[in-house]
Amino acid sequence: MQRIYEWLLEGDAWVQYRTRIDLLGEGMDEPEVRLAHQALLEHPRIKTIIEELTTWPGPVISNHKNANHPIQKLSFLAELGLTRTDAGIENIAARILDLQSQAGPFQVLVNIPKAFGGPGEDNLAWTLCDTPLVLFALFKFGYAEDERVLRAAEYLNGLARENGWPCAASPECGKFHGPGHRSDPCPYANLIMLKAFAQIREYRDSPACRNGAETQLYLWENRETHHPYIFHMGTDFCKLKAPFVWYDLLHVLDVLSQFPELKDDPRLKNMLNILRSKENSERQYTPESIWTAWKEWDFGQKREPSRWLTFLCLRILQRLDG
């Protein structure tokens, strides 16, 4: 493993930073970690993202698979480990917190066409395709004890059912409902709710998360016959892709690997074996699909191994094999 760690530490600042913390177990007080953290904050690409997010909520969400939308960049910064003590984050968080709905979840600009039951105009609203990512970011940024964040979490927790989280949206979305049976869970909403709640022990150990995790594994086990909301888990689903934008193998594994009690589940092991089959002789991983909005990053190409993608894969394996 020493060779692969050395290779990762030759990468971009965010790869160095997360490798030292997540794979090598180094603390924030160690000089190399502090240096990587500072280099991360000073990197032009990161500064550009932070600057863009100061105009939150940014453009309207008309497609939840838009990898270039600020909500995905917000989630990416949270994945990197930025917190409210880092320059610009408190300003971004303040703008997010100002858009809390009366019910609790945080709103973004959405436009649900009339053909899908929406009002057909831009308005502030939330759906379970977006607001869990905002909650995830606030948790990661260090706002887990903020009463506004707790109120949002409590409301979203209350939407959980025995088969996970459904398709749900605020009243501003009109009669919008995804292309599925109302009794079905929404695979993506369920995934990003687990992603958010995995950050807080109180929620990670809750019945809602246990049911949600079981739903994800059930969907994998029955992937050939059960496709709620037209989410399939076939060839494209299994292609390695970063960053975490939509519903795919790596995203699901990253989320479920944060629940230690699932470690020995044969369905999770089956998914993990698919991941293992994709590494090369040096334990490196190469993107098999890309988001073109991120083509300038090392994971935005399919020609050679990506350090960030490799880090993500090794972190999953360490969580589940350690």
On whether residue 19 sits in a domain, the answer given is yes
Local confidence band at 299 (pLDDT 50, 70, 90 cut-offs): very high
On whether residue 132 sits in a domain, the answer given is no
* Distant-in-sequence, close-in-space partners of 253: CB < 8 Å, separation ≥ 6: 268, 271, 272, 275, 316
User: Are residues 130 and 188 in contact, defined by beta-carbon separation less than 8 angstroms?
Assistant: no
Local confidence band at 115 (pLDDT 50, 70, 90 cut-offs): confident
Local confidence band at 14 (pLDDT 50, 70, 90 cut-offs): very high
What is the percent of the chain with per-residue pLDDT over 90, rounded to a whole number? 91
Token output for 57: 């909520």
On whether residue 38 sits in a domain, the answer given is yes
Tracing tokens 């689903």 back to the chain, one arrives at: 237
Tracing tokens 């399939």 back to the chain, one arrives at: 232
> What local confidence, expressed as pLDDT, does residue 178 receive?
85
Would you say the pTM of this structure is higher than 0.75?
Answer: yes
Local confidence band at 322 (pLDDT 50, 70, 90 cut-offs): low
User: Are residues 130 and 64 in contact, defined by beta-carbon separation less than 8 angstroms?
Assistant: yes
Q: What is the 3-state secondary structure (H, E, C) of the chain?
A: CHHHHHHHCCCCHHHHHHHHHHHCCCCCCCHHHHHHHHHHHHCHHHHHHHHHHCCCCCCCECCCCCCCCHHHHHHHHHHHCCCCCCCCHHHHHHHHHCCECCCCCECEEECCCHHHCCCCCCEEECECCCHHHHHHHHHHHCCCCCHHHHHHHHHHHCCCECCECCCCECHHHCCCCCCCCCCCCCHHHHHHHHHHHCCCHHHHCCHHHHHHHHHHHHHHHCCCCCCHHHCCCCCCCCCCCCCCCCCCHHHHHHHHCCCHHHCCCHHHHHHHHHHHCCCCCCCCCCCCCCCHHHCCCCCCCCCCCCHHHHHHHHHHHHHHHC
Could you give the number of structural domains in the chain? 1
On whether residue 175 sits in a domain, the answer given is no
User: Are residues 62 and 122 in contact, defined by beta-carbon separation less than 8 angstroms?
Assistant: no
On whether residue 25 sits in a domain, the answer given is yes
On whether residue 284 sits in a domain, the answer given is no
> What local confidence, expressed as pLDDT, does residue 19 receive?
98
> Residue 37 belongs to what domain range?
1-42
Looking at every residue in the chain, the average pLDDT score rounds to 96
> What local confidence, expressed as pLDDT, does residue 221 receive?
97
Identify which of 189, 204, 208 has the alpha carbon closest to the alpha carbon of residue 257. 204
pLDDT exceeds cutoff 70 at 195: yes
> What local confidence, expressed as pLDDT, does residue 63 receive?
85
> What local confidence, expressed as pLDDT, does residue 23 receive?
98
pLDDT exceeds cutoff 90 at 117: no
Mean pLDDT of 145-157: 98
Distance CA 194, CA 135 (A): 11
pLDDT, tens only, 165-183: 999 999 999 888 888 898 9
